[in-house]
Amino acid sequence: MTRTPWAGLPAHIHNAVTTRHGHISAARDITAGFTCQAAAILHTDAGPVFVKAVRGHAGGHDRETAVAPHTGTAGPGFLWRDETSGWDVIAFRAVEGRHGDLTPDSPHLAALAALLAAASELTAPGLQLPAWADQWAAHAEPAELEQLRGAHLVHGDINPHNLLADSQRVWLVDWALAARGPAWADTAETTIRLIEDGHTAAHARAWADTVPAWRAADPDDIALWAGLRCRALTAAVGADGARRSNSRHQALIDEMSAARAG
């Protein structure tokens, strides 16, 4: 999606901010991410605000707005949404940090585990959300999908760009793909990211074991999820194209088999 700098956005979007937060003294455009046309951290009289905007109606904003009251301390505070003059604008309290570092020597790993421990307890009662498992429905038997269902709020898009860290903690941002599933789902996704960033599967599993929801999970369920990811990616890009990603998932499957045997 083509990005538009804050200075290039229509005046009514600028006004939507200033009427709520006062004068904007500085703006820093955010270029990471793929789902918005503009994003910026704005320094206002009322403090820093993160704003992102899309032309037309943004379905992801519907889900973010609905989920925001249920994310607790895991996500930044939701402020407002404005849909006028052909733009969909959403605002949050700005998190001044850097993207999460998932490499083996990262100082963020302990804080990330604490974040996922807290996030895994979120349930969002009464909120209508898609089932996390259904994204693999084309590659799974009904009984397999049932094995991956759950009642917890799942972020569903763990990657370094959606993890913001400062010296004390990590935040989980951009809940546009939130779903309902098992409490261990986001930790499982994170273990694959750790392997991708240089951890051995054994080290990634040991890190995940510090998250209570992961420790309580059935290793067979996690292995099933990893296998479904392999099936889906192989179907999408072929065995050769899927080899590197599938090797990471297979390494996790092997670790979960070892956990079951142990």
- What stretch of H or E contains 221? helix 219-261
- For 242, phi then psi, to 5°, come to -90, -5
- What stretch of H or E contains 93? strand 87-93
Q: What pLDDT, on a 0 to 100 scale, did the predictor assign at position 168?
A: 83
198: left (phi over 0), alpha (psi -120 to 50) or beta: left
DSSP letter at 34 equals S
Q: What pLDDT, on a 0 to 100 scale, did the predictor assign at position 109?
A: 96
Distance separating alpha carbons of residues 186 and 162, to the nearest angstrom = 12
The count of other CB atoms within 10 Å of the CB of residue 217 is 23
Q: Which two tokens stand for residue 248?
A: 């990471």
Reported residue count of the chain is 262
Tell me which residues of the chain have a pLDDT lower than 70.
Answer: 1, 34, 262
Distance separating alpha carbons of residues 208 and 70, to the nearest angstrom = 24
Q: What pLDDT, on a 0 to 100 scale, did the predictor assign at position 97?
A: 84
pTM above threshold 0.85:
yes
Residue matched to tokens 């993160």: 50
Q: What pLDDT, on a 0 to 100 scale, did the predictor assign at position 1?
A: 61
Q: What pLDDT, on a 0 to 100 scale, did the predictor assign at position 34?
A: 67
